[in-house]
Amino acid sequence: MCIELPVESLKKAICYFYLLAFCPPENIAQQKKALKSLHKGASRLSGLKDKEFIRLAALEASRHIMAFHQNTREPGTDWVEALADRAMVADTNPEQAAAFQELMTLVSRLPQRAKPENRLHRRRGCQFCTSPCAYGYFSLVSEPEISILQGFLEHEIQESPDAQKPIMAVSSFALTHITLLVGDMKDELSISQDHLSGLAYCLLSLATARSRLQVPEQQLGLFQEANQYLNITNLPAESEA
């Protein structure tokens, strides 16, 4: 009998694996602790025992990730199995984390999604993105609340022109989104600088495509260039906020 994960369980599992991919490998043990609530939530919704859940979650998440990046409903079996094998043990030690992240990088470069003309929001920001497509699927599955970004940007508009920092507003939105996604967090969550910058820009592109939020094309290009210089790498645990 073929077992499938419930939709919400699968979404949480996909987000779990992406947040492992965004973490510096040397911090993977810390990341696993920080993501404990997210992992437990996905497992509980599945109704499966932990070992059975992680095996199925890795396979199902990998199938959906590959379907997105190959832009097909029937992704290549070899890719799916290879990614699932690495995802299943990605949170066990730095070496396994690095191996998983290496493959995720290769996946993000597949031309079916990485080529500019194949990107999600190719006319609303993706054309300026310096990453092939490392964040698009995560931004879709994690379902960010766009109104939060609008709130951050509206706050910046109220500041004097020389005090406005729209880049920090978008980065704050990315951090807030991840914090809400993870839920109960007792340990510090680690996101590498490059991944945080890329994710922040991807979320901005998604927001401009899905809402009335309008950002001039020239500003999008300037934002993406400046965004690479941000230096925010860690999310504080709730007890430190």
- Supply the pTM of this predicted model: 0.84
Q: For residues 19 and 32, is the Cβ–Cβ distance under 8 A?
A: no
CA distance 161 to 236: 30
Distance of CA 164 to the CA centre of its chain: 26
pLDDT at position 117: 77
Pick from 97, 108, 94, 60: which is nearest to 80 by CA? 60
CA distance 18 to 23: 9
pLDDT at position 169: 76
| Residue environment code for 204-216, b if the CB has 16+ CB neighbours within 10 A, otherwise e | bbbbbbeeebebe
Cα torsion at 30, 34, 35, 41 (round to 10°)? Answer: 140
pLDDT at position 1: 44
Q: Which residue has the tokens 């070992």?
A: 51
CA distance 236 to 17: 20
Q: For residues 166 and 156, is the Cβ–Cβ distance under 8 A?
A: yes
pLDDT at position 18: 98
Backbone angles phi, psi at 64, to 5 degrees: -70, -40
Alpha helices (H) along 109-165:
111-114, 136-141, 146-157
CA distance 185 to 238: 6
pLDDT at position 229: 47
pLDDT at position 133: 84
CA distance 80 to 14: 14
Pick from 235, 119, 213: which is nearest to 166 by CA? 213
Residue 78, classed as helix, strand or coil, is: helix
Task: Tell me 115's DSSP state.
Answer: S
Low-confidence ranges of the chain (pLDDT < 70): 1-2, 121-130, 153-166, 210-241
CA distance 48 to 55: 10
CA distance 213 to 140: 17
CA distance 104 to 98: 10
